[in-house]
A and B are shown apart, each in its own frame.
Chain A
């Protein structure tokens, strides 16, 4: 009984540590975003805004009124969504073939995907920079969507084929025996079973696209297509020792909100997708 209590206390402490680990830096950046510019530049060390150092919502108002920042949000949302939709469509076709059909080159597809997932992104930036300029898609939406797609495909393919492999495909035939047409059987039986997997793959893909930085800074040169992470890093100004910290913090919080909302809504699916793709794959 003693050990029982001990392990309960241990678990309790463990939970507290995990929560602190995950939330502390987030709380910190939120706290920073409410400090006034003045308090920050004059040096106000400490976690919370000291008395008189608060800025209310003014940092947020400033950030949201900044046209470059607004443009970056639109770019990020547009590019990430388009890349996600296209990538998931292609990955679904591929994963279906991998889970369902016997064909030559199945191993090749899976290996290619794995190698690309491990590719050092920076090593492609040079040639892509050169190619995109020749093709005239440098600093445009397609110029980012295409690399995002190809780098999210591996994750989506692995996750989806792990999901699809667990679908009892015989049910489709059973439905046909019961008098459904092939299309009806597929739509009514398989699609509902596959949908959660497809959705999970979409969330993970969106994560990746939203988080990307290397392509974002090297394949754009103006606000034409520059996504949020890149825009934030260029927000810094010429003097790296005098960054507008509280303003940046507000921008960072704004850039993080969409992702955190996704996490809060879909945590179950995300965990399933991450572990299915990596461990069972």
Chain B
């Protein structure tokens, strides 16, 4: 049915300036097609977000729902003046920067290998999707048990680590285990995005650079990377925002012990475990805003850096 109307609308467009009736019909049809999806997305995101904004102005706990009182911006002040909030922000940002850096380098190396491979392409592509397909919770368990000194293998495989070293006894080593799981699971995704970017670098330019006597490194820095900047930016942006919301791995591996809590985890704990909807909503809003800031910074950063790189090249 829809296609019939669409066809007519399309057919009417062949002369460059469409009559306003036709274009109005097309508009109306498009809105009808788009409306259900758009409505659903807004109901589950925009509306709750506005509600969070509203609730964040109250002292509101589900354990005492009748005592809801308006307190203005006090919740925000409480959150922002608490060391816990900043400690968790630092943890989150550190996890984000370190994991994305590792993923970018390893993912790029993987992409280069996959780009070259002609035989066994199917096998490699299939296996690279396995970490992507494994549930994050399962990956968290796998790595937690792997790092465990009681029943894991990591200690016995790493020569410079004692067999009874407990990774989950303190902050830094716990974070290493968490990041290992995160990096393992998402590097393949990164490498697939970069592989698509690599495919867009023209072979002719590489050949020309080779003929001109450029070394492997020169070709990488002057030809390949500048030509892939869109793909790299997309990959970094996606992964960074994803890493910033880190939750599953932390929940499974340490449950936030030893100061390994992320911002998402703090928010979850306030809302779901302690039923503090007021301060929890304030944290939700802060989490959302900080994601926007991270996105903004990455977009800005890339524009500047890449423009510089281009002028040099």
**Interface, chain A (partner B; CB < 8 A):** 7, 11, 14-15, 17-19, 21-23, 25-26, 28-29, 32, 35, 39-41, 43-47, 90-91, 93-94, 96-98, 100-106, 109, 112-113, 116, 118-131, 146-147, 149-151, 153-154, 157, 169, 172-173, 176, 182-183, 185-186, 190, 207, 210-211, 213-214, 217-218, 228-230, 232-233, 240, 245, 248-249, 252, 255-256, 259-260, 262-264, 267-268, 270-271, 274-275, 278-279
Contacts and interface: CB of A to CB of B under 8 A. Distances in A.
A43 B110 contact: no
B251 A125 contact: no
A174 to B, nearest CB: 12
B44 A150 contact: yes
Contact of B133 (A43, A151, A183, A260): A260
Interface of B: 2-4, 6-7, 9-11, 13, 23, 26-27, 29-31, 33-34, 36-38, 40-45, 47-49, 51-52, 55, 62, 109-110, 112-114, 116-117, 120, 122-139, 141-143, 145-146, 148-153, 155-156, 163, 184, 187-189, 192-193, 195-197, 230-231, 234-235, 238, 241, 244-245, 247-248, 251-252, 255, 264-265, 267-268, 270-272, 277, 280-281, 283-285, 287-288, 291, 295
A101 B10 CA distance: 8
Contacts of B295: 118
Contacts of A256: 133-135, 138
Contact of B245 (A39, A122, A260, A274): A122
Contacts of A190: 3
Contacts of B272: 125-126, 129, 217-218
Contacts of B283: 123
Contacts of B135: 210-211, 213, 228-229, 252, 255-256, 259
Contact of A93 (B33, B43, B132): B33
Given A150-B45, A207-B133, A122 B117 contact: no
A119 B196 contact: no
A233 B252 contact: yes
User: Which 8 pairs between the two chains have the least Cβ-Cβ distance?
Assistant: A14-B113, A103-B30, A127-B48, A150-B44, A123-B284, A126-B271, A275-B196, A186-B3
B113 A274 contact: no
A103 B271 contact: no
Given A125-B267, A233-B137, A274-B192, 15 more contacts: A15-B120, A18-B114, A19-B124, A22-B128, A35-B151, A101-B33, A116-B45, A123-B285, A126-B55, A210-B135, A228-B135, A232-B141, A245-B145, A252-B137, A278-B196
Contact of B231 (A25, A123, A279): A279
Contacts of A90: 36-37, 40
B23 A127 contact: no
Contacts, number: 328
B116 A7 contact: yes
Contacts of A259: 133-135
Dominant SS among interface residues on chain B: helix
A29 B138 contact: yes
B137 A93 contact: no
B27 A103 contact: yes
B52 A127 contact: yes
A156 B210 CA distance: 41
Nearest to A122: B264
Nearest to A94: B37
B187 A97 contact: no
Contact of B291 (A14, A39, A118, A275): A118
Nearest to A258: B133
6 contacts: A41-B151, A103-B31, A151-B44, A169-B10, A217-B272, A260-B133
A43 B48 contact: no
Given A94-B34, A126-B281, A262 B133 contact: yes
B48 A100 contact: no
A69 B32 CA distance: 42
A101 B6 contact: yes
